[in-house]
Amino acid sequence: MPINHRIVLDNRPQGEATVNNFKMVELPLPELQDGQVLVCHHYLSLDPYMRGRMNESKSYAQPQPLGEVMIGGTVGEVVDSRHPKFKAGDQVVGMGGWQEYSVVDANVVGALRKVDTTHVPLSHYLGAVGMPGVTAWYGLVKIIAPKAGETVTVSAASGAVGSAYGALAKARGCRVVGIAGGKDKCDYVVKELGFDACIDYKEHKDYLSLSKALRDACPNGIDGHFENVGGMVLDAVMLRTNAFARIAVCGMIAGYDGAPLPMANPALILVNRMKIEGFIVSEHMEVWPEALQELGTLVGTGKLRPRESVAQGLAAAPEAFLGLLKGKNFGKQLVKLI
């Protein structure tokens, strides 16, 4: 059996995460038992939620255990199988973690899923047609529930979640305005993803300035907002919300290093009778088939053209992950493992 290289969480961050929090180890792969499948990973997904798991404090999920392989979504190919539903050569998606191979108990429901790459590239099953895409779908469809003609916004608009959100919202007849960092990202959001407008938050020093830009981009106010960032961005959006606005809170990347994120104008929640709902997409597995079908169609027909940032080799994962937290990636952040 081949040697498996894996990256484990070696120690917990004190404030900002660093490459020294991670350690590469190698182990021989065990012999397969009945019901198990050996998967060679082609791509590893890097996502902001991983930063929260590195902390010792419990949030919506248990902390990442020290000394164990870092959590993460993977796509790859079955190398060997002792389960009747999988055979060598099958392309699959799972939660294999930061490693080159995984041994999966295929009897566990949802642990491994076969995918069709005829119209959707394998890597997109970690982004637009995977967890990030379903995250966008759930926040838009189940929480914001927009009507045609309404204005919706999203932070981190050029990322894996934001790009899918834009395509889904445009398909429902909404005016869609993104918030992203840098001219290149904003140009991509408007010209390639088809958003109606995109605001570069880096051009604004405070939430009041950003809010003025939102007023120009959203002349009829904001009916629904999808939040990935928090902090200044959320404060700016709240100033532009209409009565009965809905905000889906998926991430607070501005506060992942542990600092509290105060809200500038919480009274607006009452004044505008706002609905603000946080959610974790893995708690809503019942919607995944419907969401994935729509997302796959959008990608297959070219109505959603997701962009990817790809780091090469497992050893590059820590630096790529830290870059993701600072917005250095463009689109979905992946690590190519073969």
What is the CATH classification number for the domain harbouring 118? 3.90.180.10
Q: Is the per-residue pLDDT at 60 higher than 80?
A: no
Q: Give residue-wise pLDDT tens across range 183-207.
A: 999 999 999 999 999 999 999 999 9
Q: Is the per-residue pLDDT at 257 higher than 80?
A: no
Q: Which residue has the higher pLDDT, 262 or 273?
A: 273
Quick one: 328 and 232 in the same domain? Answer: no
Instruction: Quote the CA–CA distance of 110 and 173 in Å, as a whole number.
Output: 33
* Structural domains in the chain (count): 2
Quick one: 81 and 114 in the same domain? Answer: yes
Confidence of residue 15 (pLDDT cuts 50, 70, 90): confident
Quick one: 59 and 107 in the same domain? Answer: yes
Q: Give residue-wise pLDDT tens across range 307-325.
A: 999 999 999 999 999 999 9
Confidence of residue 58 (pLDDT cuts 50, 70, 90): low
- 207, 261 contact by CB (below 8 A): no
Quick one: 153 and 247 in the same domain? Answer: yes
Q: Give residue-wise pLDDT tens across range 284-315.
A: 999 999 999 999 999 999 999 899 999 999 99
Write down the mean pLDDT value for the chain. Answer: 94
Q: Is the per-residue pLDDT at 1 higher than 70?
A: no
Place of tokens 């408007």: 190
Name the burial class of residue 228, with classes exposed (0-12), middle (13-18) and buried (19+) by CB atoms within 10 angstroms of its CB: buried
Quick one: 197 and 253 in the same domain? Answer: yes
Confidence of residue 72 (pLDDT cuts 50, 70, 90): very high
Q: Is residue 233 situated within a structural domain?
A: yes
Q: Where is the domain boundary, 282, 298, 315?
A: 282
Quick one: 19 and 102 in the same domain? Answer: yes
Quick one: 84 and 114 in the same domain? Answer: yes
Quick one: 161 and 109 in the same domain? Answer: no
Confidence of residue 260 (pLDDT cuts 50, 70, 90): confident
The reported pLDDT for the residue numbered 57 is: 77
Quick one: 140 and 110 in the same domain? Answer: no
- The residue-averaged pLDDT of 71-96 equals 97
Q: Write the CATH number for 200.
A: 3.40.50.720
Instruction: Quote the CA–CA distance of 146 and 1 in Å, as a whole number.
Output: 52
Q: Is the per-residue pLDDT at 87 higher than 90?
A: yes
Q: Is residue 293 situated within a structural domain?
A: no
For strands 241-249 and 275-278, give the pairing. Answer: parallel
Percent of the chain beyond pLDDT 90?
88
User: What's the distance, Cα to Cα, between the start and end of the chain in Å?
Assistant: 17
Instruction: Quote the CA–CA distance of 306 and 194 in Å, as a whole number.
Output: 12
Q: Is residue 23 situated within a structural domain?
A: yes
Task: Output the CA torsion sign for 90, 93, 97, 98.
Answer: positive
The residues, any chain, with a CB within 8 Å of residue 267's CB and separated by 6 or more, are none
Confidence of residue 68 (pLDDT cuts 50, 70, 90): very high
For strands 197-200 and 175-180, give the pairing. Answer: parallel
Q: Is residue 262 situated within a structural domain?
A: yes
Quick one: 146 and 100 in the same domain? Answer: no
Quick one: 66 and 11 in the same domain? Answer: yes
Q: Which amino acid is at 25?
A: V
Quick one: 139 and 274 in the same domain? Answer: yes
The reported pLDDT for the residue numbered 261 is: 86
State the residue range of the domain holding 332: 3-127+307-336
53 alpha carbon, distance to own chain's centre: 14
